Structure 1
Amino acid sequence: MALHLERSQELQQRAEALIPGGVDSPVRAFRAVGGHPPFVERAEGAYLYDADGNRYLDYFGSWGPMILGHAAPAVIEAVREAALRSTSFGASTAAEAELAELVTRAVPSIQKLRFVSSGTEAVMSAIRLARAFTGRNRIVKFEGCYHGHSDALLVKAGSGVATLGIPGSAGVPVETTQFTTALRYNDLDEVETLFARHPGEVACVILEPVVGNAGTILPEPGFLEGLREITRREGALLILDEVMTGFRLSLGGAQQIYGITPDLTTLGKIIGGGLPVGAFGGRAEIMDMLAPLGPVYQAGTLSGNPLAMAAGIAQLSALHAAGAEFYDRLAETTRQIADGVQEIAEELGVPLVTNRIGSMFTWFFRDSSDSDVVIDFDDAARSLTERFGVFHRAMLERGVWLPPSQYEAAFVSAAHGAAEVEATLAAAREALMVAQAALPTPEPLTA
């Protein structure tokens, strides 16, 4: 079975002549999975349509924002109406405070916030704010957690870096990362040791409360609670990067599910309804250190862009109105998909570990001798990426488009229903058999 992607390949060649690698974000490339990336022309509901007329069931959802499905009518109408009034003003609008109210009502730990244009900006600004508030320099992050591409945080950053096999990034001076320490996710002992070695030096601990950029990895019981206790005791700030999990796992994000109150939170993706947007916020006493009130400078010409604000208001209003039942339905659909494929894999003898929470999941392809759990980046990195690549291509040929990396979370939207579940399981059965047949089972390591 082969896809016809002639027009997409023509477009790829054109793009490669003008854009490095033909992509504006490396995660869109198919180098980790092989094959040719389709060029998308439009999307609706749970489906993408490419330049060659192929239709795909979408499981990356613009990398998370499309929780209502593509081209949600309320979001599209809000953007259309906003665009008629101009695409940007460079001045304040009422929409900024309206969206801020929707965010703070859902996430009580955020007393004040500021909008930016990307998750990278949000994290970069939150780090600067944490350093200013504490008067300290050191940052603690966790292996496999991705917090954008600012220099200080491209240390064991998972996601695209792991997919492409890049150890950090060229062009990042050692001096920029000398105050960044990357620890093992889910390991509180390492955190305690770090604070003991650097007393009074740590400005903040930042993490994805549920990792999405090394594949979906959940916090072990007590891990987030332990981080909150340690940071509070040591006078460091706790920053939860909920760019991916915010409004995705629940209306209040991962911090609502796990009962954790951070000092600062970073947001993006869903709060913009698919338009470029980010935000960072937290305790008022910290946020009030930002200019023009305080000494910490942060700015952005297009921050609070009226189109992004309109899309965010429409999407978050819909989520507020839908309530907890909406998230329960999403979680059940995700369970049927993720666990359904796991059951098929077990039936066929394909070693697979499925991690899921809410509407996020990852299928990790494993060596049969490997552990049946994935709780940190080292576990994820032992996955059989070549086998995942075969599976990805086989799924795409059967009309199911997964994230093109073993190290990315997949997402389910409200537009995924019973028909989509059935189609996914049918495609996965065939694709798992293709993946199993295409590659020999690795021999277990012997002493």
Structure 2
Amino acid sequence: MIDRRSFLNASAVAGAMVTTSAPAWARTSTSTAPDVAVVGAGAFGGWAALSLRERGLDVVSVDEYGPSNPRSASAGETRSIRSGYGAQGFYSAWAAQALELWKRRQAEFGRTLLYPNDRLELAQTWSPGLTAQREIFERLGIPYDVLDRAALRSRYPQMNFDDVEFAFLEKTSAAVIKAREAMIRTSEVFQEKGGRFQIARAMPGEASGRTLRTLALNDGGTLAAGQFVFACGPWSPKVFPKEMAPKVAVRRSEYYYWGVPPGDDRFSWPKQPAWHDHIKGGYGFGSLERGLKYSPSGLGGGAHDPDTADRLPTAFLIETGRQYIDHRFPGMRDAPILETRVCQTEGTADSHFVIDQHPDYDNVWIASGGGGHGFKFGPLLGEYIAGRVTGAPGDPQIDDLFKLSNKADIG
């Protein structure tokens, strides 16, 4: 458990890692081998590669399928950012900091990635998590409101609240993110700033004592580097079967885009809020071009192989989704499913990330365990990982939270 002082400090620590001076990425390495090779170009690896490059290091980004490919955990059109994390105040503080970094990056990237919106948590009772969340928002100064059923019906008449007693409303700390576009643009900017990108499957190669010398590539070649960051997401158990397979579970999830009625903007951004349903289960947000998004989370989450698994929705979850839409959105009863997505999450037993040195190598870092919620922290995770790799002072409590040795085995 992290106390109030620690999660308040998390924002300050993260803010201290953001570069405000002129970038140092113009440096040109005189060495054949890069300073750092980052394996994986998703939310952990893509942002880490960019942040390391901006610190003046020669960086190679390697991904076996390319940024935001359909197999990756960072794929898909949209993800969300929120500060509501129940009793986990540390992540509330980090989310607030991450949102500011997303805004800066959006301005730098010259592309709209953020779509701010209200976010509702629908509930019937004040659970311990929601009660703690309310206290955390007050301590952190994050604006919120609590709406009863009558207020909800008045403000969001497109939704059915018959079974809802109240909703916790995030007013300024939530947004929808264009996920696929964000990760493609992150890789583009990384390369514009002098980083090198390569498509290849990379595994640990030659080692000498506690130093990894090379990556072994699928074409039979090798890639040498001074340091290595393995941000492999759902591939982490394959890359490090001894270290990561017992600690990380890879599970599938499904979500659907439901067609909104013609000429009706009630179910689209910005009129339709994002929501998390503590009563019926699942989450979603309003249409951004593709339809109203809903995921019946917590169902059908069996083991998943990111390389070989088909990404076809199950009949059970389709029917579950139809029943939910009919109930919560009466104006969309019998709406068509326009698109379906199957992705995977890789999570640890305590839901915290793994960002730590490899136990056998002094120059190898592992960044994994996004658990379905890591994407929102992308720019901040990039700064944090870059700081750890370059030896910048950190916060021992935060570092300890992400230690591999503190993760229990997944049962």
Higher strand content, 1 or 2: 2
* Shorter-chain TM-score range: under 0.3
Higher helix content, 1 or 2: 1
TM-score, length of structure 2 as denominator length? 0.25
